[in-house]
A and B are shown apart, each in its own frame.
Chain A
Amino acid sequence: MAMLQMSTNKAAGSGGGDGQLAETAVKSSHKEESYAGMVVRRFKKHKLAVAGLVIMTLLSLGAIMAPWIVPHDPYQVTEAFEAEPSAEHLLGTDQVGRDVLSRLIYAARVSLMVGLGSVLISVTIGTVLGLVSGYFGGLVDMAVMRVTDIFMSFPQLMLILVVVSVVGPSLTNVILILGFLGWTGAARLVRGSVLSIKQMDYVKAGVALGLGTPRILFKHILPNALAPILVNATFGIAGAIVSEASLSFLGLGVQPPTASWGNMLTDAQSLTVLTSQPWLWLPPGIMIVVSVLSVNFIGDGLRDAMDPKSLK
């Protein structure tokens, strides 16, 4: 160790020009893996998260390629209504004779769009508000956090029901409503991270170097708060999928004939369907559970992988 320090000392004295000394100094600071590499390695250890990622990838692929892989037109009404699963209709048909499997695949598009769309909106709003609130503090913080509190104290579902009944149910509206109501968690989370990050010396060093405030906020603080934001976003996706399903189940979400897992479940409100036609409600129910579970597992995995405090 003493030798090493002497050698770096000499290297410093000669301006680091000496190749051999420089060689030893670099070898001593052994090559460490990048942050992204570490996250991937740690994520892979989380078996459930990997399984979740595989399922979500397949689901997404299915949703994107739906027009080419569905066996039937999901809106095509046929005479074979309420048909049991068969070779022709793998998951049977619904009350008006539409192919359940095709509808199920198309419905994945709705769920994923709602999940991603609304989370994109809510995380963007939440992140910006949280950053501003945490960094500037004082009155700004006060104002933003009180607004957040107000939004949080609304009974969410009831508010959504009221808004939907005012603006009318549609896929776009569901995305917008969930997005504009769901930002509170992200805002608080980001604010918390910013409060601790802004005390870090590298932020002070940035100010001392003459960097402007927006630059410090978005280019130096935000990247450091990205891990919790990302984890929060994955859980947000799961929440949005469930919310959409509930809304559609209640008839206030995506409107028929567009298929969504939620409105497909509506059929299960009838007792006969519930007891004797499980192919109508079991598949969408399972899809909701599987997709939400997968997203949650991914979130769990990400949290463990990205948390610098957890053990390598």
Chain B
Amino acid sequence: MEHLLTVNRLQTAFRTDQGEVISIDDVSFRLKAGETLGIVGESGCGKSVTSLSIMRLLGAKGRISRGEIIFEDKSLGKLTEAQMRDIRGNDISMIFQEPMTSLNPVFTIGHQMIEAIRLHMSLDKKAARAYAIEMLKRVGIPRPEVMVDEYPHALSGGMRQRVMIAMALSCEPRLLIADEPTTALDVTIQAQILELMKKLKQESGTAIMLITHDLGVIAEMADKVIVMYAGQVVEETDVFTLFDEPKHPYTQGLMQSIPHIDAEHGERLASIPGSVPSLQNMPAGCRFRARCPHAMEKCEAELPPLIPAGKNHLTRCWLAVQPASMAKEAAYG
């Protein structure tokens, strides 16, 4: 099956006072129609920059310095701003982290939805309004024909996120980028929103790129997962393999830091010592080296590439090489 989105060795840089800083480096992944790709990682690891690069919303200071992003058969980096505007909201939509501030406070939600709908679909005002109400109904807003004329402040966070989803999905995008869609919501609402996104995905076949730092959300939603650390992909695999046998020490650390219900009384949760290196002085070699319990000499000298560690499983760690070579030795012996 043809891939909907191919990101190939993407590097994004930002101009700062200290010169150009590379935010994400060598990020590659593919996404098929109807698939959900989870991107996990801690704050500042480049999850959001990856999504903003795809939308070409990096602002005046950021630019894609290497690599390419192919959506359907278009290279997004080469499109003009007008062509890109046509894609945004129409073929690729985005949901943001903060539903409380993602809606313009001075307009009714209907006004905002109708604006977006009419921008990309040739509907008259009345039809667009009817469609907006229909969309609100689909995302589970009670009494949509009344709520359509409400201002955002009259809605709770969960309701607003539903409106954002309705807006993002109204033009039936091929790809939905959800940048931490549930982080700002409390857990019960979080479950509802995830459930809703799943349902809508099944109905419309939209591919979802789900950005989160919550492994629970990943387990719930994703088909494929990429784990990012310090601007690089460190592990890429399907969701089951990720939880069953994480290969990269960083992913293993993340797994150990999830609280478990069957933990011993008084047992302390594991954490990964140290912190992410700053973008300005990224160490040579493996970027996780300083925090890694298995760091070797080789890690200091050379940045590991993404090494196959099984079927559909890639990891950026020299450890993944060893079993293969040991297996080879065993075979020779």
Chain A contact residues, CB within 8 Å of chain B? 5, 8-9, 11-13, 15-17, 21-23, 25-26, 29, 31-32, 34-35, 137-138, 200-202, 204-212, 219-220, 223-224, 226
Contacts and interface: CB of A to CB of B under 8 A. Distances in A.
Given A35-B151, A210-B90, A224-B106, A16 B60 contact: no
Contacts of B156: 29
A23 to B, nearest CB: 8
A226 B188 CA distance: 37
Contacts of A201: 96-98, 101-102
Contacts of A8: 140, 142, 158, 192
A308 to B, nearest CB: 9
Contacts of B143: 16, 22-23, 25-26
Interface string B101-140: 1111111000000011001100000000000000011111
Contacts of B106: 35, 223-224, 226
Given A32-B153, A210-B89, A15 B138 contact: yes
B155 A29 contact: yes
A200 B88 contact: no
Interface centre among A16, A25, A29, A31 (most CB of B within 10 A): A16
B87 interface: yes
B196 interface: yes
B140 A15 contact: yes
Nearest to A11: B142
B210 interface: no
A29 B104 contact: no
Given A13-B140, A35-B106, A205 B94 contact: yes
B44 interface: no
B189 A29 contact: no
Contacts of B115: 211, 219
A202 B140 CA distance: 22
Q: Chain B, interface size: which category?
A: 35 or more
Contacts, number: 114
Interface string B233-258: 00000000000000000000000000
A200 B119 contact: no
A175 B269 CA distance: 72
7 contacts: A5-B189, A8-B192, A16-B143, A17-B137, A26-B142, A208-B88, A208-B89
Contacts of A212: 85
Contacts of B162: 12
B159 interface: yes
A223 B158 CA distance: 25
Nearest to A223: B106
Contact of B104 (A21, A31, A35, A224): A224
Nearest to B87: A210
B144 interface: yes
Nearest to A227: B106
A208 B97 CA distance: 13
B164 to A, nearest CB: 7
Contacts of A26: 142-143, 146-147
Contacts of B168: 209
B101 A200 contact: yes
